[in-house]
Amino acid sequence: MAAVLITALLLFAAGVPSAAKDPITETVNMMQVNQNTRGEGYYWHNPSDKMTLTDVYIDTADEFGLKMPDKSYLVLEGNNYIRASKAALFCEGELQVSGTGSLTLVSDEGIGVLINTTKAVKSVRFIGGNIVIKAGAIGVQALYATASFSNCTVDITTKGENAVTARILLIGGCPSFKANATLSADYKMNISASALEVTGANGAPALVTPDNFTVNDIAMSAGADIKSVSAVEEYAGQTALVTKSTVSGITPSIIFGEGVSVAVDILIIIGFLAVIAAVIAVPAVRYRRRIAAIKAGKSEAGRSARAQARAQRQAKREKKNG
């Protein structure tokens, strides 16, 4: 009896829904589903591309635990647990995670959340729930997309160097966001009205920030480790970063209503503007490069034509003199 109790407590601590519940031992793949689908602990509503998890327990040796299509929604109810070898949660593009439940994602040697897209307009948005990620490599990987966290609690533990890596990283209205490795963004990063506790692995910086890095409504402390942080006006590459929200009370979301912070609306707007800027900037850079290449080609062609004309004139003079 004592052994059973200890096992149950260990499973509860690991985030497993129930010691008595048999796990789903293969990938739950919604990529090609075209009808409403129900399974143990989950329900896929096909017309709305919405998956509701209710105490789902997926523990598989397969590469992926849950695979979601582009432009899909994940709603959390109860305690949900997904474990897989390569990525616990995989999405082909756009994904929104909401709800009041919890989601524990485990990949001992892999990635917690993998957003597999090369389109800058795509994003993974966590706008509710309690998110726990335990990964061997990276907590959340959205290399070409936006990763945003708001109105949710987040706890990321990884053996790798990055807790989150994204093109655009937005954190707002999170009462608790903990990570034991670097938060990294290539194009834009914004942190607003959130309580962060981030420590870079092996002395690495807590944040790897782009030039487009902004903060709003937070007080920051930074240092060599969490125990030695002190107040700072600007983040300057320290290993440990702690932030506190300076906003009192919660203003409800205009878009989602009561129960969701207005920080979600702000992040959506910031993310939208950042994506638009990125979409405009990339073609502009390509256009400038193309024009420069054309000009360079014309210049080279002009030099070649002039050289050929000189050679022809020289040949005529030599023929005339001969």
Residue-wise pLDDT tens for the chain (322 aa)?
444 444 444 454 556 665 557 999 999 999 999 999 999 999 999 999 999 999 999 999 999 999 999 999 999 999 999 999 999 999 999 999 999 999 999 999 999 999 998 877 789 999 999 999 999 999 999 999 999 999 999 999 999 999 999 999 999 999 999 999 999 999 999 999 999 999 999 999 999 998 899 999 999 999 999 999 999 999 999 999 999 999 986 555 555 555 555 555 655 565 555 555 555 544 555 556 666 666 565 556 556 666 776 777 777 677 666 6
Structural domain count of the chain: 1
Three-class secondary structure of residue 102 per DSSP? strand
Does any domain span residue 312? no
Q: Tokens standing for 170? A: 């937005």
- Residue 25 has a pLDDT of 97
pLDDT value of residue 1:
47
Say what the pLDDT of residue 310 is: 74
Q: Is residue 262 part of a domain?
A: yes
321 falls within a domain: no
So what's the pLDDT on residue 295? 59
Which pLDDT does position 14 carry in this prediction? 53
| First-last CA distance in the chain | 115
Distance between CA 45 and CA 33 in Å, rounded? 10
Contact 115, 146 (CB under 8 A): no
Residue 236 backbone dihedrals phi, psi, to 5 degrees: -130, 40
In a domain, 313, yes or no: no
Q: Which residues contact 114 (CB under 8 A, 6 or more apart)?
A: 86, 87, 89, 90, 91, 141
Residue 11 within a domain: yes
pLDDT at 122: 87
Burial class (CB within 10 angstroms; exposed 0-12, middle 13-18, buried 19+) of 35: exposed
62, part of any domain: yes
- pLDDT at residue number 287: 54
Residue 254 lies in a domain: yes
Is 320 within the bounds of a domain? Answer: no
3-state secondary structure the chain: CHHHHHHHHHHHHCCCCCCCCCCECCCEECCCCCCCEEECCEEEEHHHCEEEEECCEEECCCCEEEEECCCEEEEEECEEEEECCCEEEEECCCEEEEECCEEEEEECCCEEEEECCCCCCCEEEECCCEEEEEECCEEEEEEEEEEEEECCEEEEEECCCEEEEEEEEEEECCCEEEECCEEEEEEEEEEECCCEEEECHHHCCCEECCCEEEEECEEEEEECCHHHCEEECCCCCCCEEEEEECCCCCCEECCCEEEEEHHHHHHHHHHHHHHHHHHHHHHHHHHHHHHHHHHHHHHHHHHHHHHHHHHHHHHHHHHHHC
Residue 202: give the domain boundaries. Answer: 2-282
